[in-house]
Amino acid sequence: QLDISWYTESMGMGRPVDIQDRHQLQVRAEPRPIAMVTTLNGYACQRRTPLQHHNAVLTDALLVLAEKAEFSENEGRSVALRAASVLKALPHTVINMENLQGLPCLGEHSQRVIKEILEDGKSREVEAALHSEQYQAMKALTGIFGVGVKTADRWFREGLRHPSDVASSGHRLNHTQQAGIQHYDDLNMPVTKAEADAIGQIVKEAVQAVLPGAEIILTGGFRRGKPTGHDVDFLITHPEEGKEEGLMPKVVSWLEARGLLLYQKTNRNSYLEATEGSARPPNNMDRFERSFSIFRLDMPGAGPERHPQAALLEQAQDDSSVGGRRVGESWDWKAVRVDLVVTPFSQFAFALLGWTGSQLFERELRRWAGQEKHMSLSSHALYDSKQKRYLRASCEEEIFAHLGLEFIPPCERNA
Ligand code: DCT
Ligand code: MG
């Protein structure tokens, strides 16, 4: 899937070089500007995308533009995300526009931004976005758990800029948003792998206590090898199909009885294969028995050193109820967003694939299935529209095989 046409020792500088040039180079046998021509497949699910890549300066810029587009609800978001994703899969640093030849998903807009950064070190459009009041306010307001772009945009138009403005605005907030405001600082601090593992131990204990033999697995970004995340995602299942039914309320009660949950909202499983056929649910993430929660993770001995924002908060003496703790309060626990999902064993492989991400990798898998294979993929099942039947799978490898795709391990799904 990856074809590095050719390159010589000192990468970069040149234009793509054809066979004749190459011959001349060899004849002259002198160091020459390099051509690095790489071709990549058009779907992110056909590419290997590692966590660490060579073009962070460019992808960071494109991701700001994706965010800016998201805040104004235009489709530029997916365009910029796809462009960034292609650069993440490149095995080398882009240093000139020729390096982009033959690459998919790089439209005129993305190329303009890349060119500017290569020439001037930065993009005016990205700088303007980062400094704009709208971008900063939307970023802060959508950073509240339970607040989406629509609500944030309405608040922005009313003159609100920051969670503290919302808290003092007198707006009626739902329970999720109240929790989001209350734990704003903690929830905007990255969750570390160590914290995710600590929560994993707690969830494991809870699950084992209420249903012996049940299994839990850490999914989402941490399964892809990310060192931090915005939340912790777990899948729970039991090898005996049916045993998992009704598990979530019991797990939640166990956790609540021990004071480990600061907030939780459970959705029932609303997926019914037989009656729904191949219909693709509008949002296939919402149909398992799923609990969105905020854990209270004990952090023994934690002080401002381990909780860097504590120092900042202490400076903000006059701040109101936003954030979590007032000056002088202890920092021995941290609020952490956790998603728990219960899946029947027969759907486990699909759930695992669907919840491992990245979000773009998932979107591209579904696009590939629909457009290239006349299949419909969700986190529950894979339906073949030509054969008019569901295709079963007991592991991720089988799903890739059904889709006619080379298997990509989780650590290379960071599209
Ligand atoms: N997912 C998806 N489509 C969405 C949202 C999520 O396919 N609209 C899948 C892919 C990732 C997984 O669910 C978990 O979602 P997040 O926690 O949002 O993503 P993440 O990769 O775990 O990111 P983070 O590390 O920030 O938590
Ligand atoms: Mg996650």
User: Mean pLDDT, consecutive 10-residue segments, the chain of 415 residues?
Assistant: 31 33 37 63 97 98 98 94 98 96 96 98 98 98 98 98 96 97 98 98 98 98 98 98 95 98 90 51 62 94 55 46 60 94 97 98 98 97 97 98 98 98
pLDDT at 323: 73
DSSP 169: T
Radius of gyration of the chain, Cα coordinates, nearest whole angstrom: 24
pLDDT value for 239: 98
Tokens of 321: 């109820």
CA 366 to ligand 2 centroid distance, Å: 19
286 catalytic? Reply is no
pLDDT score at 380: 95
Element (H, E) at 399: helix 396-402
CA dihedral 206, 209, 214, 216 (to 10 degrees): 20
Counting ligands in written order, which one lies closest to the CA of residue 45?
1
Summary count for the chain: helices (H), strands (E): 18, 12
Q: Which of 21, 319, 339, 384 is catalytic?
A: 339
ipTM of the complex: 0.97
Instruction: Give kind and range of the element (H or E) at residue 376.
Output: strand 375-377
**Predicted pLDDT of residue 38:** 81
Atom of ligand 1 nearest to the CA of 359: 10
Kindly report the length of the chain.
Answer: 415
Residue 403 — left, alpha, or beta (φ > 0 → left; ψ -120 to 50 → alpha)? alpha
Name the one residue in this structure whose structure tokens are 């005996």: 240
Q: What pLDDT was estimated at residue 13? A: 30
Ligand 1 site residues (CB inside 6 A) read 220-221, 226, 229-231, 233, 285, 355, 357-359, 362
377 token code pair: 């993929």
pLDDT at 36: 67
Is position 332 annotated in a ligand binding site? no
Q: Which ligand is nearest to the CA of 193?
A: 1
DSSP-based three-state secondary structure for 387: coil
Cα(381)–Cα(269) distance, rounded to whole angstroms?
Answer: 14
Task: Check whether 186 is labelled as a binding-site residue.
Answer: no
